Structure 1
Amino acid sequence: MKTEYDTIVIGGGMAGIAAAHELARRGQDVLVLEQFGFGHDRGSSAGPSRIFRLSQPLRDYAQMARRALDLWRTFQTEYATPLYRPTGLLDLGSADNAALTDIQTNLRESGQDFEVLDAASLARRYPQWRPGDDWQVIYSPEAGILNPSLALELLTAMSGVLGATLLDRTPVLDLDLRDPQAPRVRTGRGVFTAQRLIVAAGAWLPALAPLLAGRLRVTQEQVVFFRPRQPEAFVPERFPLFIQWQTPEVYGFPMFHLPGVKLGLHLSGPQVSPDTRDGLPRPKLTEVMRAFLEAHLPGAAGPVMQAKTCLYTTTRSGDFVYDTHPESENVLIVSACSGTGFKFMPVHGEIIAEWVAGRRHPLCTGRFGLERAAPPFAAPG
């Protein structure tokens, strides 16, 4: 078996496969190591739907989202695969909500189409809603639904077509950085060496890079599909995606994949270990979602069809991490989740590929450095 490569990528999830695809497309000799099977559902990259939106409250992410949309459209055309379905999105909150103000600023500065509605206008246009009296709403037509499992399957397959070597069910046992110019990766299948090493192992990052212990928090989050009492009112053509900017932050989908409205609560699940989590949905979180529907979308508050869990790997700042390992400038640490990462998948690939080429991507700003993005979480108690 070949053991030397230009670049090794640890992790076959969203960020790792995006990197492998872009590097292989650029002619790199790439090896991807995945501890489970490609496309597994034990991490953060599986499932039928994720929100894509240009409506970002932070300018760096607004710029990243615009680039991501161009790349998603390119993939969809080049590979003739339906990855992105436009539905529009409603950002909801009180009129004085800072996130809504920043979203409007960033959309306006970038020349994006959007509308601002008050509560009464929202109820007239989308009678499914029972908004709060003080709500303000931003409608963004370019938002839509991404299919993460299909996107991951497609880019994994295309990485192989483009020449990448893909080894799944190959756990990494340890990293040998004694020679910083030639990182070595020890696995059950042997030792592999490369000029550049990308560590994009999601929730398993701290096990491979102990310097991240205490800097990344892994939580088990859940989504729930509710069967609407009025299904015809919640098809994608009549009911946009939404995010309610409150605490907890509620987000939702029209009927897609399953004939139910999908709801989630951002960063509301328990802290877990990725290897020992139980994977069981928490009934209390389901009830919080149901209460939201009863109050604001009563036609959607039918029986639970399905509840599923996944992992978030989050920094204290909520930002991604792209930074070199302190023991080797040839090793890049990537944590691209924080519950918002999938929409930027193709941009993650570009950022990583530019680093491998010795260049800094213009969208990879200082906010993504380890010390700034991932200061230690406070100790419990």
Structure 2
Amino acid sequence: MDADVAVVGLGTMGSMTAWQLSRQGVSVLGFEQFGIGHDRSAYGGGSRRFRIASPLVEETPFIKGSYHMFRDLEQEAGQQLLSYSGALTIGDPDSQRMKNVMRSIQEYDLRHEILDDHEAMRRYPQHRLLPGEVTVWDEMGGVLRPEQIVIAAVNRARKLGAQVHSYTEVKDIQADETGVTIIAGEDEKEYRVGKVIVTAGPWANKLVPNMNKIYSAQRIIMTWFIPESPEQFTEEKFPNFSRLSGGRHIQGTPAIDGRLVRVSESLERAKYDSADHFDKNVSVEDILGVREAVKELIPNLNPDPVSIAPFMDGFTTDGLPIVGSTSKNENVILLCGFSGQGFSQSPAMGEIAAHLAMGNKTGYDIKHLSPKRFGL
């Protein structure tokens, strides 16, 4: 055996999985077809919002558990990776989305404040609120530095003994009763491991073709704006936010570089049969919606984006990730399909994948995420 476990794809989930396995003394082979911290997949763009009070209640325990692991990685890497500025969720208190946020808070005892529209506009005048909207402040929220986190986790795994092969594409995965053969690189070298964890994001269905009917690569567009008064959009004054207001669903992060504010719109995404066909061109029509949302809801930003960047993630037909061993072979573990919701919960997911690979039970409920729901 070349290693106990192979991790295929060292992005959001793969970096955390390799780190978690290596911390447990498991020998790891990590494969990444691009460079570590590349700009093609779901974690690009320089910032990700972190909040625990989620409108997707079932993911809240994974995010809450991840908070402490991000702090652990900070200690191990000697870098700040997650800020302490809190997070805002804004919307109609009678909407199902805001009711779910409150349910997350109550079920998981999260520190928070609820601000009516008058108090919220006093504290955060950058937002133009609609009548009756409320703002929930999540004390444990902040801003994540995604590329820095991926690189820090992979570097920690290396220091703990993991062998990392960057710019090495995995061509095939051949599993049998005693282990898994990995064929990788231009020379199609064979590696033998006990188990493989597929963390290839939008490329996962290329390695596991029987996922094609329930899996697709989809584009996520991010846009950045220039504020009229940059000092009003620092992280201390303008925490990361998500809001659904008047049918417009936007989210964003402050000017962490002192210059650009990221505001992105949740909209129907372009789909690709293969992540290899990803098109990084963005049309004017693709950004008109976020432009109008900024004009209406955050009027002190210049509404024309000065930077636009598309990224990809792997999406499932039910919007939930795929976590667990395949029914065909327990030596193949899938950790993919996070459908644009993965980064905040990635340390916990990496820990779960490590437990599965080691034959241990996890303390999280992952039955609803099983590959078997899709017949995989």
The TM-score, its normalising length taken from structure 1, stands at: 0.92
Looking at structure 2, the residues matched to 182 and 127 of structure 1 have their Cα atoms a distance apart, in angstroms, of 58
Q: Secondary structure of the residue that 1:47 maps to in structure 2?
A: coil
Q: 2:284 corresponds to which residue?
A: 283
Q: Deviations over 1:220-255 (max 9, x none)?
A: 111111001122211111111111136553101111
Q: 1:28 corresponds to which residue?
A: 26
Shift of 1:284: 2.2
**1:225-374 maps to which residues of 2 (within 5 A)?**
225-245=224-244, 247=247, 249-257=249-257, 259-272=259-272, 273-335=274-336, 337-372=338-373
2:202–2:337 Cα contact (<8 Å) kept: no
Shift of 1:29: 1.2
2:9–2:201 Cα contact (<8 Å) kept: yes
2:327–2:372 Cα contact (<8 Å) kept: no
Query: What one-letter code is carried by the residue in structure 2 that aligns with 1:226?
Result: F
Q: Deviations over 1:51-83 (max 9, x none)?
A: 111111344311111111111112212322010
Q: 1:7 corresponds to which residue?
A: 5
Looking at structure 1, the residues matched to 317 and 94 of structure 2 have their Cα atoms a distance apart, in angstroms, of 25
Q: Percent identity between the aligned chains?
A: 26
Aligned to 1:186, which of 177, 183, 191? Answer: 183
Q: Secondary structure of the residue that 1:40 maps to in structure 2?
A: coil
Shift of 1:375: 8.2
1:254–1:262 Cα contact (<8 Å) kept: yes
Q: Secondary structure of the residue that 1:329 maps to in structure 2?
A: coil
Q: Does 1:224 align with 2:223?
A: yes
Query: What one-letter code is carried by the residue in structure 2 that aligns with 1:31?
Result: L
Aligned to 2:104, which of 103, 106, 109? Answer: 106
**Count of residues paired in the alignment:** 372
1:266–1:339 Cα contact (<8 Å) kept: no
Identify unmatched segments of 5+ residues in structure 1. Answer: 377-381
1:48–1:257 Cα contact (<8 Å) kept: no
Q: Deviations over 1:153-205 (max 9, x none)?
A: 1111111110001011211111222x232111112341111111111111111
1:92–1:138 Cα contact (<8 Å) kept: yes
Looking at structure 1, the residues matched to 267 and 163 of structure 2 have their Cα atoms a distance apart, in angstroms, of 35
Q: 1:379 corresponds to which residue?
A: none
Looking at structure 1, the residues matched to 230 and 7 of structure 2 have their Cα atoms a distance apart, in angstroms, of 44
Query: What one-letter code is carried by the residue in structure 2 that aligns with 1:143?
Result: G
1:267–1:339 Cα contact (<8 Å) kept: no
Q: 2:79 corresponds to which residue?
A: 81
Larger mean CA deviation between 348-357 and 303-312 belongs to 303-312
Larger mean CA deviation between 321-330 and 244-253 belongs to 244-253
Q: Secondary structure of the residue that 2:323 maps to in structure 1?
A: strand
Shift of 1:303: 4.3
Q: Deviations over 1:87-121 (max 9, x none)?
A: 22221111211121121122123222212222222
2:5–2:29 Cα contact (<8 Å) kept: yes
**1:68-217 maps to which residues of 2 (within 5 A)?**
68-177=66-175, 179-188=176-185, 189=187, 190-217=189-216
Query: What one-letter code is carried by the residue in structure 2 that aligns with 1:82?
Result: Q
Larger mean CA deviation between 189-198 and 299-308 belongs to 299-308
Q: Secondary structure of the residue that 1:76 maps to in structure 2?
A: helix
Looking at structure 2, the residues matched to 18 and 166 of structure 1 have their Cα atoms a distance apart, in angstroms, of 13
Query: What one-letter code is carried by the residue in structure 2 that aligns with 1:195?
Result: G
Q: Deviations over 1:301-334 (max 9, x none)?
A: 3542211110021112221111212321111011
Q: Secondary structure of the residue that 1:262 maps to in structure 2?
A: strand
1:87–1:240 Cα contact (<8 Å) kept: yes
Looking at structure 2, the residues matched to 362 and 183 of structure 1 have their Cα atoms a distance apart, in angstroms, of 27
> How much is the aligned-residue C-alpha RMSD, in angstroms?
1.9
Looking at structure 2, the residues matched to 332 and 304 of structure 1 have their Cα atoms a distance apart, in angstroms, of 40
Q: Secondary structure of the residue that 1:86 maps to in structure 2?
A: coil
Q: Secondary structure of the residue that 2:115 maps to in structure 1?
A: strand
2:73–2:153 Cα contact (<8 Å) kept: no
Query: What one-letter code is carried by the residue in structure 1 that aligns with 2:327?
Result: P
Looking at structure 2, the residues matched to 337 and 33 of structure 1 have their Cα atoms a distance apart, in angstroms, of 20
Looking at structure 2, the residues matched to 345 and 74 of structure 1 have their Cα atoms a distance apart, in angstroms, of 13
Query: What one-letter code is carried by the residue in structure 1 that aligns with 2:308?
Result: A
Query: Where has structure 1 moved over 6 Å in runs of 4 or more?
Result: none
Looking at structure 1, the residues matched to 207 and 197 of structure 2 have their Cα atoms a distance apart, in angstroms, of 11
1:181–1:328 Cα contact (<8 Å) kept: no
1:196–1:330 Cα contact (<8 Å) kept: yes
Shift of 1:281: 2.3
Q: Does 1:18 align with 2:19?
A: no
Looking at structure 1, the residues matched to 375 and 250 of structure 2 have their Cα atoms a distance apart, in angstroms, of 26
Q: 1:37 corresponds to which residue?
A: 35
Looking at structure 2, the residues matched to 75 and 299 of structure 1 have their Cα atoms a distance apart, in angstroms, of 36
Shift of 1:34: 1.2
Looking at structure 1, the residues matched to 349 and 153 of structure 2 have their Cα atoms a distance apart, in angstroms, of 13
Shift of 1:130: 1.5
Query: What one-letter code is carried by the residue in structure 2 that aligns with 1:200?
Result: T
1:15–1:348 Cα contact (<8 Å) kept: yes
Identify unmatched segments of 5+ residues in structure 2. Answer: none
Shift of 1:363: 1.5
